[in-house]
Amino acid sequence: MAKSSKIGIVTDRIHDEYTRGPDVWSTFNPAVFPDCVNLGQGFMNWAPPAFIRESLQELSDKRVDVHHYSHPKGRPRLRKAIADHLSEQYRKPRDPSQDLVAGGSSSLPKQRKDVGAQLDPETEVQITSGANGAIYCATTAFLEPGDEVIFISPHFDQYQCEVTFMGAKPVPIALLPPKEVRGSKGSDWKLDWEKIEEAMKSPKCKAIIFNTPHNPVGKVYDDEEISRLASLCIKYDLLCIADEVYDILTFDSKPHLRIASYEGMWNRTITISSAGKAFAATGWRIGWAVGPPHLIKPVLVVSTRISFSTNSIAAEAAAVGVEEAAQRGFYQSQIQEYEARRGQLCSALDTLGLPYTLPEGAYFIMVDASAIQIPEDYPFPEDVQKHYRTAYFVAKEAKVVCIPATAFVSEEHVPMFEKWLRLSFCKDEEGREGGELEKGGKQLQALKKYIKA
């Protein structure tokens, strides 16, 4: 190709990502460590529940339409199921024009007491290609070059690109770890309110991506925190993209609170959820966005041009899940199973002697690995970044793949999170087919000889 050719010159918007080198998912991939237990990437090693699989098979056999295009808004059955079964959680104001809280009000907005009006499946629910697709459509719809977007770090790594690909600027603000890790919970990680408000004061600040339950910390934000954050979004007139994909996975009776259900927030919030996380079907790529028509229609416009429609048969099966899960007691039994898995991994970490934060939601554990002493002459490959080395060492010596927490932070926050590893417990526990948690917990004990007293 001639040097003067324009072919192959990537755009500025993807340049940083294009030149970044191997990403964390390529480095800590089962294909790279085929003999390891994978407690890294957050996908389950079991199938969706039987009642959903059975409906999927029946749909496939008896209907032709599920094998073809859907409406760009998403399958009507799934949109209706979301509206029928999830409306009360959003507490949509009966008169959205009256749901106003003045910026700078001295009183913090509260969760609306009224269970609210029914969601409109035609204008307030959009089905997308996974929750990640919903966030990408939202950022495409509303961000201009130069806009600033806040997110709380550590954060889902896709946020960074979903912002920079639009020519906007990420403004990550660190979630502050507890001073004493041993015995800590997700709730012990604290927001830096001073830095959050400082960032919001910028005239370029357009939005915040707010994740609860939080990946990877496992923090479930409480009423006081959400109320305070809502007051700041209102004060500085910000769009809130609420990433709530783990909304049905909270533990120890901790409630999940939707920021859209707070006074003044319905009209400025796009809430993102996921069938993949709810029903162990991450490969189906079925997510959705819920919000007022003036926010959902732009998401529809973008989604239509990116993918046109979502996976039809998977969306129909997801509708069955949404329709029947609560009445079958599925959500509660799933929580109990996840609590058992969490307990098994925590027990292995206790035996090993590494401190960690007990997650109150999602399915990840943040482990403080600073006590692991890696031999100075350990033969790391040249392409393994320094702040990935502890995770690489664990994979090689204990045969357990985990993810370095630095994969979820911006460069400025790498020193702050270098000692942390993320382990996933969305794997089978003892007594179930696979038994990866049991095996992984045993293999982690190989690190004992490297842990300083």
Half-sphere exposure of 278 (CA within 13 A, CB side): 28
Alpha helices in 325-445 (DSSP H): 330-352, 389-398, 414-417, 436-444
d(CA 401, CA 35): 10
d(CA 52, CA 228): 39
Which domains are present in the chain?
12-47+330-450 (3.90.1150.10), 50-324 (3.40.640.10)
Q: Model confidence over 10-39: pLDDT tens digits?
A: 888 888 888 877 778 778 877 788 889 999
Closest-CA residue to 422 (of 378, 377, 375, 356): 356
| Structure confidence at residue 433 (pLDDT) | 53
| Structure confidence at residue 125 (pLDDT) | 98
d(CA 376, CA 383): 17
What are the two backbone dihedrals, phi and then psi, of residue 176, each rounded to the nearest 5 degrees?
Answer: -80, 120
| Structure confidence at residue 1 (pLDDT) | 47
Closest-CA residue to 284 (of 258, 319, 256): 319
Beta bridge partners of 211: 243
d(CA 198, CA 203): 11
Q: How far is CA 180 from CA 155, 191, 285, 362, 431, in A?
A: 22, 16, 38, 22, 34
Residue-by-residue pLDDT tens, the chain, 453 positions: 456 677 888 888 888 888 877 778 778 877 788 889 999 888 898 999 999 999 999 999 999 999 999 999 999 999 999 999 999 999 999 998 888 776 555 689 999 999 999 999 999 999 999 999 999 999 999 999 999 999 999 999 999 999 999 999 999 999 999 999 999 999 999 999 999 999 999 999 999 999 999 999 999 999 999 999 999 999 999 999 999 999 999 999 999 999 999 999 999 999 999 999 999 999 999 999 999 999 999 999 999 999 999 999 999 999 999 999 999 999 999 999 999 999 999 999 999 999 999 999 999 999 999 999 999 999 998 888 899 999 999 999 999 999 999 999 998 999 999 999 999 999 986 555 558 999 999 999 999 999 987
- In the chain, how long is the greatest CA-to-CA distance? 67
| Structure confidence at residue 56 (pLDDT) | 94
The helix or strand, by DSSP H or E, that contains position 234, with its residue range, turns out to be helix 223-235
Quote the radius of gyration of the chain (alpha carbons, Å).
22
Do residues 257 and 223 lie in contact, with contact meaning Cβ atoms separated by under 8 Å? yes
**What is the residue-wise DSSP string for 160-181?**
HHHHHTTT-EEEEEEPBPPS--
d(CA 390, CA 47): 32
| Structure confidence at residue 175 (pLDDT) | 97
Tell how strand 420-424 and strand 364-368 pair up.
Answer: antiparallel
d(CA 74, CA 299): 12
| Structure confidence at residue 12 (pLDDT) | 86
Q: What is the token pair recorded at 105? A: 């009000």
Measured from the Cβ of residue 261, the count of other Cβ atoms closer than 10 Å reads: 23
Measured from the Cβ of residue 191, the count of other Cβ atoms closer than 10 Å reads: 17
**What is the residue-wise DSSP string for 306-334?**
HTSS--HHHHHHHHHHHHHTTTTTHHHHH
The helix or strand, by DSSP H or E, that contains position 287, with its residue range, turns out to be strand 286-290
Q: How far is CA 129 from CA 87, 241, 298, 413, in A?
A: 22, 16, 15, 31
Residues composing the chain: 453
Sign of CA dihedral 309, 312, 317, 323: positive
Q: What is the token pair recorded at 120? A: 């409109």
d(CA 162, CA 170): 9
Q: Model confidence over 359-398: pLDDT tens digits?
A: 999 999 999 999 999 999 999 988 888 999 999 999 999 9
